[in-house]
Amino acid sequence: MVAIVITGAAGRMGRSLIEAAMETTDAELMGGTVRSGSYLVGADAGEFIGKKNANAPIHDSLDAFCERRPVVIDFTSVDSTINHLSWCVGLGVPCVIGTTGFSIDQEKSISAAAKMIPVVYAPNFSVGVNVIFDLLDRAARVFGDAVDIEVIETHHRHKIDAPSGTALAIGRVIANALGRDLEATAVFGRDGQTGARPRDQIGFATVRGGDVVGEHTVLFAADGERVEITHKASNRRTFANGAVRSAVWASQQEPGLYSMRDVLSI
């Protein structure tokens, strides 16, 4: 049985992770953390999803869980995640990271931590999205430079980074398949007199509104036809299930930087 602690337990994703952990047979929800000073400190995590007596206390620090040496699942914010990752390194326990929007230096910190502990870091923990990555790689190689490629992503109004980490991962998959440098060819939105579209561009469009969990569409547009590959998430539980699955898997791994594709053996 793999003990799991969820940081940011009171958030939308945190609650989905609590539910997933409690319903996974080879995982045990040890508890969760919330911000210091929160009125939720001392509560039972099960209460967040309507289940009492889960014996999964909420604390304001990971230090309360040192003795059990849990796997930590973190979908919080970039600064908080880096702090939680440092705690995991200090204790020598695995960490599963679903936070997006890291800077280059923060990405380097994650890579450095992975030399000491197992780290599963993925822009998206949905099984479907990771299947989509393979489909996009194949499509990009078949179409080559004969199409225009656009990535359109939609998320809820509360998402703070744009484009999404999944959209950027999609762009990297396509760029690698085509032998392009994404940083040199990516265009993040267009405005004004932009001129004709160069064929080698990979465009990104971001939509924010309502309670959309996550939608990603890749458009391969040629003269006379177009192909669209789309993934739509209707519930955060799909990400939570993948993250808990990753936590169980990470508990059996050597130190290293892993992705959801490693977990799925894709």
In whole angstroms, what is the distance from residue 166 CA to residue 150 CA?
Answer: 14
The CA angle 83-252-20, to the nearest 5 degrees, is 70
Active site members: 155, 159
Residues 6+ apart with CB under 8 A from 249: 120, 263
Classified as helix, coil or strand, 12 is helix
pLDDT in tens, the chain (266 residues): 899 999 999 888 999 999 999 999 999 999 999 998 888 898 898 888 878 777 899 999 999 999 889 999 999 999 999 999 999 999 999 999 999 889 999 999 999 999 999 999 998 899 999 999 999 999 999 999 999 999 999 999 999 899 999 999 999 999 999 999 999 999 998 999 999 999 999 999 999 999 999 999 999 999 999 999 999 999 889 999 999 999 999 999 999 999 999 999 98
Burial of residue 253 (number of CB atoms within 10 Å: 0-12, 13-18, 19+): middle
Q: Give the pLDDT confidence score for residue 37 in this predicted structure.
A: 85
Q: Are strands 225-233 and 58-59 parallel, antiparallel or unpaired?
A: unpaired
Domains detected in the chain: 2-121+236-264 (3.40.50.720), 127-233 (3.30.360.10)
Cβ atoms of 215 and 156 closer than 8 Å: no
Q: Give the pLDDT confidence score for residue 101 in this predicted structure.
A: 87
**Measuring CA to CA, how many Å separate 18 from each of 103, 200, 238?**
28, 43, 13
215: which 2 tokens?
């939608």
